[in-house]
A and B are shown apart, each in its own frame.
Chain A
Amino acid sequence: MDEFFENPIFGLFLTLAIGWLGVKIRDKSGKNWVNPMLLSVLMVIVVLLTLDIPYESYKKGGDLIHMFLGPITVVLAVPLYSNRDYLKKYSKSILVGILLGSFSALISVVFLSKLFGLDEFLMKSIMGRSVTTPIALAIADMLKANQSIVIIAVSITGVFSILIVPFVYKLLKITHPIAKGVALGTAAHAIGTGKAMEYGPLEGAMSALSIGIAGVFTIVWILIFQVIGFI
């Protein structure tokens, strides 16, 4: 039977079936804070543990899906390109905002990790948390950190961001649609973009184009941190 589960098609099928089920459950629940990806992950883990299937066997099929994250990173260029007219008009505010936003995301993780007594490996595993998952995984790779931890940190980031953002915008009197969209895309990647779309199409477009820029800027900051020996 072990051989059966070693077949990559098994892991591929399990991920497809449960991935689809996760989205169905989210849609039926009608709650937009339910994260279908995390739900599916839990269900896959339960199935593997119940049937006593080793993670390595599942991974053979999982890797077939995982390897597409590279090409997915490449197509992040498309929303950026499609919204280039907005970028031109407000280039200074968008670029400076994302540059400082990405920096604040990284620097806060470094200082809070020290404050909370996390070791360097955990800190590096969380550093990519504000950017979109495929880029966060590339960052984890660069820093030789743990890929599963960064995805969980990215997911917490997304879920928490959309919960707090209405209060933050009210408290700080953020009313400009460009600011609302760019901050959501920079701080909360695709999940933030979903929220930005609720504010309006302009906010949504700004958020979508910020995802790719924030990913690239974050990587550039990390390279700078490495060169100056900060991390």
Chain B
Amino acid sequence: MKIIGQLAIILAVYLSGLLLEHIFSLPLPGSIIGLLLMLLLLHLNIIKVEKIKQVSDFFLNNMMFFFIPATVGIMASYQILEGFLLKIIVLVMISVLITISITALVVQFIAKRKDRNNG
């Protein structure tokens, strides 16, 4: 029963996110509103982490499994990729290099300055 209750809490927060998106015609996807809502509910101690821990651990640890059906969808749309796959791979690689480098440099720069001021 514990698992069922945990799942019910998570689905309730998700559905609330969808509902808020719908009612207020928000530009944010309902799932993201649900994430922010969950963060708020945890922060306000309305939901305790233990009350959703097992189900959320299950989802987070097995997340990759849930991507399989959507990825299999490439079967139905591979023509779009024809002739572009190699370009996309190279593009992603360059973009990854840029993203990692910029994030790491910015965080290290600010964090080291803080460490120096404190120490």
Which A positions have Cβ atoms within 8 angstroms of B? 11, 15, 18-19, 36-38, 40-41, 44-45, 48-49, 55, 58-59, 61-63, 65-66, 68-82, 90, 92-94, 96-98, 100-101, 104-105, 108-109, 112-113, 116-118, 121-122, 126, 129-130, 132-135, 137-139, 141-142, 146-149, 151-153, 155-157, 160-161, 164-165, 168-169, 172, 174-176, 178-180, 182-184, 186-188, 190, 212, 215-216, 219, 223
Residues of chain B with a CB closer than 8 A to A36's CB: 64
A65:B32 contact, CB within 8 angstroms:
no
**B84: Cβ under 8 A from any A Cβ:** yes
The answer to whether B38 touches A77 (Cβ under 8 A) is: yes
Contact A152 B70 (CB under 8 A): no
Given contacts A147-B70, A160-B92, A178-B111, list 9 more A-B pairs with CB under 8 A.
A15-B65, A69-B70, A92-B114, A109-B95, A112-B91, A112-B94, A148-B77, A174-B105, A176-B107
Residues of chain A lying within 8 A (CB to CB) of residue B80: 121-122, 146, 149
Enumerate chain A residues within 8 angstroms of B93, measured Cβ to Cβ.
156, 160
Interface residues of B in 51-106 (CB under 8 A from A): 52-53, 55-56, 59-60, 63-77, 80-81, 84, 87-106
Listed by A's residue number, 16 A-B pairs whose Cβ atoms lie within 8 Å are A38-B71, A55-B76, A70-B14, A71-B11, A75-B52, A101-B99, A118-B91, A151-B70, A168-B101, A178-B107, A182-B104, A183-B103, A186-B99, A187-B103, A188-B96, A212-B35
Chain B residue total in the interface (Cβ 8 A)? 73
Residues of B within 8 A of A156 (CB): 88-89, 92-93
Where chain B touches its partner, the secondary structure class is: helix
| Chain A CB within 10 A, most for which of B34, B63, B66, B71 | B71
Known: A37-B67, A134-B31, A168-B100. A152 touches B106 (CB 8 A): no
What residues on A are CB-neighbors of B14 within 8 Å? Answer: 70-71, 73-74
Q: Do A215 and B32 have beta carbons less than 8 Å apart?
A: yes
Chain B residue nearest to A142 (CB atoms) is: B29
Residue pairs across A and B with CB atoms within 8 Å: the count is: 290
Flag if A161 contacts B95 (CB, 8 Å): no
Determine if A118 and B49 form an interchain contact, defined as CB atoms under 8 angstroms apart. Answer: no
In the complex, residue of chain A having the shortest beta-carbon distance to the beta carbon of B81 = A149
Bound state CA distance, A94 and B32, in angstroms?
A: 20
Residues of B contacting A148 with CB < 8 Å?
70-74, 76-77
| For the complex of A and B, 7 pairs with smallest distance between CB atoms | A62-B69, A101-B103, A97-B107, A93-B110, A183-B104, A179-B108, A75-B56
**Dominant secondary structure of chain A at its interface with chain B:** helix
Q: Shortest beta-carbon distance, A218 to chain B, in Å?
A: 10
A38 to B72, CA, bound (A): 9
Closest B residue to A113 using CB positions:
B91
CB A77 to nearest CB in B, in angstroms, measures 4
